[in-house]
Structure 1
Amino acid sequence: MTITPTRSPWHAPELLTAARHIGRRRFLTLTAAATVLAFAVDLPTAGAAAAAHLDAARITDFPFTLGVASGDPLPGSVVLWTRLAPAPYEPDGGMPAERVDVDWEMATDEAFGSVVAKGTATAHPEFHHTVHVEAEGLEPGRVHYYRFRTGTWLSETGRTRTAPAADSPAPALTFAAVSCQAYTDGYFTPYRHLAEEDVDLVFHLGDYMYEFAVDAAGGARKYTDRVLPALFDHESASLEDYRLRYALYKTDADLRAAHAMHPFVVTFDDHETENNYAGSHPENAVPTEQFLLRRAAAYRAYWENQPLRLPQLPVGPDMQLYRRLHWGLRAQFDVLDTRQYRSDQAYGDTKHVPGPESEDPTRTMTGSAQERWLLDGWSASEALWNVVPQQVCFSQRKLDLNPVAAVSMDAWDGYPASRRRILDGAKAAGVENLMVLSGDVHVGYGFDIKDDFDDPASRTLGTEIVATSIASGMDGAQKPANWNTYMTANPHLKFYDGRRGYVRVALGQTQARADFRTVPYVTTPGAGISTAASFVTEVGEQGLKPA
């Protein structure tokens, strides 16, 4: 059966209505002038539907230079993404400020002999000619292929899959977790290998791109066969800057290959906006109004360039990114946002011993609404595995061997009361098979999540798998200089490797297995990949053990 949508979601009148409404809370936190500017970059204007319509035959160069992507799979639906950009390194992508019709189709075979869904979406200039299709009416739990067409141009073929039916016990689920891909630190070689992995989906845990300047040689990539335009050689701050930075990243062939092969579930960390920001608090001393303008631009560009659904569309500097996905009865995924709602980092965001400032019980990592949403979701969960993809280290991580050790104020160690509420909520909900996925630190860790991290004999409540970076930190080392210190100071730390790569996780009926996949270098292309270590954790008996 072929499903043909009657309209693109961007024709929905409620979307344009939402664009005109600004919450009272923002009026209380921004000056009137800044408010106008912040929301001016939010949505297409009400006249978008009447904008000039481009005849696609006028597009004379290949427009699908940034590839295709899919994401947020549901039992009968998945998001499809692409962008029209014949000249991706130009601010307008080489496209005129006109609407363009883009046809899409999905099939159950790569040759498209059995098309099961098709339609036409509109690429609006206000959205930088990105396309988000929420394909619906699909068969649950199976692989689909998709592609886009405009004029005479046909995109590459993408491969995706839908989630199993909600009440399905579902077969073993295999996913990958990735994070931190600084373009200037090296090639995205791990993605080339991930594209060849047999995984059901990929979780991106933040720092998809970095706001920092990229020089003509691409930093550590040291290009000799190309020169990057000077417009990348400054820190991103405006909507145009962020859009261009995504274009640069998405021209990476390895990243495009991974997106084309697997559906992604994404959440941002700090560098998609600014290093180590916390809620409305910027890293540096700039006015709140100025920073929120920057955050509005960053969130807008993030949504435009990721396979995200309409509820995630930002309104000014606010974006509803936390959300819940299910994989039948096998797994519930509670995707968190630990940047947008957090309290400012304690002690000036320096490495610091715990103290009254960081241990203030009112401090929060998630904000009260998201915290309640998470705990309520656990109480209602029927899944065998409850997985929490999020950004920063959740488990205690002592940084030295002093009697009272310093910890990171940017990670959950800087918000211990917030972590305590989460752990108590997991216990109250009877969550037995808890797995937290984290990124941020550019190394691979495997933690046992303890009820009391200062007591190694206390109950293990779950496991934390920290995915190392794709490129950030450059080549890295198997045992960084602080390896012995960290392993000694943290008995619940079962694995630590400082090389680049990703984690592959299989959630079975009786156990989960985590394979830490690493490459020896990224500053030169073409590295092979190997498994640095494998661990399992048993259903009903949490704790990492060598596989």
Structure 2
Amino acid sequence: MALTGRRRAPSEHAFSPHDDVLRTAAPHVARRRFMTVTAAAAMLAFATNRPARGATAASELDAARVSADPFTLGVASGDPLSDSVLIWTRLAPEPFAEDGGLGRQRVVVSWEVALDEWFSFVGQRGTATAHPEYAHSVHVDVKGLMPDSHYYYRFRVGSWISPTGRTRTAPATGTDADGMRLAAVSCQAYQDGYFTALRHLAQEDVDVVFHLGDYLYEYPVDSAGGARRYTDRELPDVFNRETTTLADYRLRYALYKSDPDLRAAHARHPFVVTWDDHETENNYAGALDENGSPQEQFLVRRAAAYRAYWEHQPLRAEQLPQGPDARLYRRLAWGSLAQFDVLDTRQYRSDQAYGDRPHAPGSESDDPARTLTGAAQERWLLDGWRNSDALWNVMPQQVCFSQRKFDLTAPARVSMDAWDGYRACRDRVMAGAKAAGIDNWMVLTGDVHVGYAFDIKDDFDDPQSRTLGTEITCTSIASGGNGTRKPDNWDTYMKANPHLKYYDGRRGYARVELGRENARVDFRTVSAVNTPGGTISTTASFVTEVGSPGLKSA
């Protein structure tokens, strides 16, 4: 997250003779998109290297000829359902090479899922093809699993066996699960420090990790790894530039997934992921970047970023991008205990008001036509609440939902990049929660590199108004460096926002235990990220009771 000047108006472009190619390659794209995307955009954004078939298919590499460990980027699992889970790996014996060291050949990968870590009781096994067009990534949707069960998984290529991953399935639909533990994480700028919090998270007893965005950053990383100040290694120059192309984004994911703490957390827990801005470009809004570039130019970049994101995350085929578009918002359940409505607040949003600078709300930001979610996602969210029978309705998303005043003076400035800059959209969501009778509503948030705990108020300007739910902001893994317990603006924020119950500027994550009677929230922070090996502690704990929203110190 960063402050920028106002975007320039997007360029206008005439109808292109290549639009027939666009329509053939991407029939899902609305006609208005064809009016702005050029032939250059078409080549990447709408026909990006799908695996060919028949005579034009890539040749197969004999797995016995893979002479170096292809599992350098680890394994991962995600989006657990009651009968299936997605398992992932990417083959890259040379992770810092553009092709990962496997060239343009496809590779057949064996996989197996077992009930025990020694694989004595293998329940499922099969093969999958790692295609060069997908950066030799493998996404296996393992079905036919038992509900509410732990599993272990691994991959094999020739004589090479991957690290073992541990995952689990959700309880069966409608079953009365007694409880579940989740962790919320976000914002892991490699160049800002070590992923110490993820090393500790790998040792936690949690069922699912929600990654709320900024999995990587597009900014250059120098040979010393930025604040990591490597003395025993030197990163290649390919990282010392901003990511703009598909090759750039793939390489940047390889750098991040070379981190042993990130690999450990993925191997231990299933992840549910969603993106924010930096997986593509700082503070972008829909088809607009922060520099006012022509839309068709930015959509090419967005297509590359979205493609690389899917290739490197444990996501199902339903999330595979089609050019610069991807359906990332989705719904998961944990028996009758919890419904998780995972949002995407970047792809469909209106441009930030007032030049994306902190500003008091006004006619521009409060235009009812402005949206953070897009109309389709908003309807999907509210319809999901109306049909929900879950005890807890949890909304994992990216940017601060609750009002956050920056000043004690009136009118106070707020962030135009968060829900404060889209108050009409927030009002519709809050009205939808009330209309659906959502009693136990929890919002999970990332983005701002600090830990917050908010009571969500019916009227944020009236501390005595009804409390509708709870918002937990999970701070960052590394972004922002070590941080401090009380940032310079701590007193101002706490006084200006009486619904703000906790504010801490250090690195870490939030751990939440959802139960039948209450939810407990623990803020976990590490001692430092500028050197490896920091310790972790619980710096604050809160409880919110079922049927009685509002945070109380535990």
Deviations 1:419-454 (A, max 9, x none): 000000000000000000000000000000000000
Query: Is structure 2 residue 105 aligned with structure 1 residue 94?
Result: no
Query: Is structure 2 residue 23 aligned with structure 1 residue 21?
Result: no
**Alignment partners' CA distance in 1, 2:169 and 2:56:** 31
Q: Residue 51 of structure 1: SS of its match in structure 2?
A: coil
Q: For residues 354 and 48 of structure 1, do their structure 2 counterparts lie closer, same or farther at Cα, with a shift above 3 Å needed? A: farther
Deviation, structure 1 residue 33: 4.1
Q: TM-score, normalised by structure 1?
A: 0.96
- Give the aligned residue type for 1:31: T
Q: Residue 73 of structure 1: SS of its match in structure 2?
A: coil
Q: Which among 379, 384, 400 is matched to residue 386 of structure 2? A: 379
> Structure 2: where are the runs of 5+ without partners?
1-22
**Alignment partners' CA distance in 1, 2:301 and 2:57:** 29
Query: Is structure 2 residue 183 aligned with structure 1 residue 179?
Result: no
Deviations 1:382-406 (A, max 9, x none): 0000000000000000001112100
Task: Indicate conservation of the 8 Å contact 1:42/1:316, yes or no.
Answer: no
**Alignment partners' CA distance in 1, 2:549 and 2:49:** 44
Q: Which among 252, 269, 291 is matched to residue 284 of structure 1? A: 291
Q: Residue 513 of structure 2: SS of its match in structure 1?
A: strand
- Give the aligned residue type for 1:373: W
| 1:433-448 alignment, distance < 5 Å | 433-448=440-455
Deviations 1:333-370 (A, max 9, x none): 00000000000000000010111000101100000000
**Alignment partners' CA distance in 1, 2:443 and 2:425:** 15
Task: Indicate conservation of the 8 Å contact 2:26/2:322, yes or no.
Answer: no
Query: Is structure 2 residue 245 aligned with structure 1 residue 223?
Result: no
**Alignment partners' CA distance in 2, 1:228 and 1:210:** 16
Q: Residue 35 of structure 2: SS of its match in structure 1?
A: helix
1:482 maps to which residue? 489
**Alignment partners' CA distance in 1, 2:95 and 2:510:** 31
- Give the aligned residue type for 1:194: L
Q: Which among 522, 526, 547 is matched to residue 533 of structure 2? A: 526
Deviation, structure 1 residue 96: 2.1
- Give the aligned residue type for 2:182: F
1:53 maps to which residue? 60
Q: For residues 47 and 353 of structure 1, do their structure 2 counterparts lie closer, same or farther at Cα, with a shift above 3 Å needed? A: farther
- Give the aligned residue type for 1:231: V
Query: Is structure 2 residue 273 aligned with structure 1 residue 266?
Result: yes
Q: Which among 355, 362, 387 is matched to residue 355 of structure 1? A: 362
Task: Indicate conservation of the 8 Å contact 2:25/2:47, yes or no.
Answer: no
RMSD between aligned alpha carbons?
A: 1.3
- Give the aligned residue type for 2:299: L
Q: Which among 407, 411, 423 is matched to residue 414 of structure 2? A: 407
2:518 maps to which residue? 511
Deviation, structure 1 residue 527: 0.4
2:4 maps to which residue? none
Q: Which among 220, 238, 244 is matched to residue 237 of structure 1? A: 244
Deviation, structure 1 residue 282: 0.5
Query: Is structure 2 residue 407 aligned with structure 1 residue 424?
Result: no
Query: Is structure 2 residue 476 aligned with structure 1 residue 495?
Result: no
1:13 maps to which residue? none
**Alignment partners' CA distance in 1, 2:92 and 2:176:** 42
Deviation, structure 1 residue 174: 0.2
Q: Residue 97 of structure 2: SS of its match in structure 1?
A: coil
**Alignment partners' CA distance in 2, 1:205 and 1:537:** 22
Q: Residue 74 of structure 1: SS of its match in structure 2?
A: coil
**Alignment partners' CA distance in 1, 2:500 and 2:58:** 57
Deviations 1:223-246 (A, max 9, x none): 000000001000000000000000
- Give the aligned residue type for 1:498: G
Deviation, structure 1 residue 43: 2.8
More moved, 403-412 vs 31-40: 31-40
Deviation, structure 1 residue 49: 7.6
1:335 maps to which residue? 342
Deviations 1:122-157 (A, max 9, x none): 000000000000000000101000000010000010
Deviations 1:140-185 (A, max 9, x none): 1010000000100000100000011002111211000000000000
- Give the aligned residue type for 2:103: P
Deviations 1:457-498 (A, max 9, x none): 100000000000000000000000000000000000000000
Q: Which among 143, 148, 166 is matched to residue 150 of structure 2? A: 143
> Structure 1: where are the runs of 5+ without partners?
1-16
**Alignment partners' CA distance in 1, 2:120 and 2:44:** 49
Task: Indicate conservation of the 8 Å contact 1:322/1:337, yes or no.
Answer: yes
Task: Indicate conservation of the 8 Å contact 1:19/1:315, yes or no.
Answer: no
Deviation, structure 1 residue 18: 9.7
Task: Indicate conservation of the 8 Å contact 2:337/2:392, yes or no.
Answer: yes
2:300 maps to which residue? 293
Deviation, structure 1 residue 20: 5.5
Deviation, structure 1 residue 22: 4.6
Q: For residues 414 and 64 of structure 1, do their structure 2 counterparts lie closer, same or farther at Cα, with a shift above 3 Å needed? A: same
Q: Which among 205, 208, 212 is matched to residue 198 of structure 1? A: 205
2:86 maps to which residue? 79
Task: Indicate conservation of the 8 Å contact 2:26/2:47, yes or no.
Answer: no
2:164 maps to which residue? 157
Q: TM-score, normalised by structure 2?
A: 0.94
**Alignment partners' CA distance in 2, 1:22 and 1:456:** 46
2:543 maps to which residue? 536
- Give the aligned residue type for 1:21: P
- Give the aligned residue type for 2:449: H
**Alignment partners' CA distance in 2, 1:450 and 1:437:** 16
- Give the aligned residue type for 1:531: T
2:111 maps to which residue? 104
Task: Indicate conservation of the 8 Å contact 2:510/2:524, yes or no.
Answer: yes
Deviation, structure 1 residue 32: 4.1
| 1:1-20 alignment, distance < 5 Å | none
More moved, 28-37 vs 55-64: 28-37
**Alignment partners' CA distance in 2, 1:19 and 1:203:** 33
**Alignment partners' CA distance in 2, 1:33 and 1:222:** 39
**Alignment partners' CA distance in 1, 2:53 and 2:301:** 23
Q: For residues 20 and 395 of structure 1, do their structure 2 counterparts lie closer, same or farther at Cα, with a shift above 3 Å needed? A: closer
Task: Indicate conservation of the 8 Å contact 2:214/2:275, yes or no.
Answer: yes
Q: Which among 40, 44, 63 is matched to residue 37 of structure 1? A: 44
**Alignment partners' CA distance in 1, 2:357 and 2:498:** 24
- Give the aligned residue type for 1:308: L
**Alignment partners' CA distance in 1, 2:451 and 2:218:** 23
Moved over 6 A (4+): none
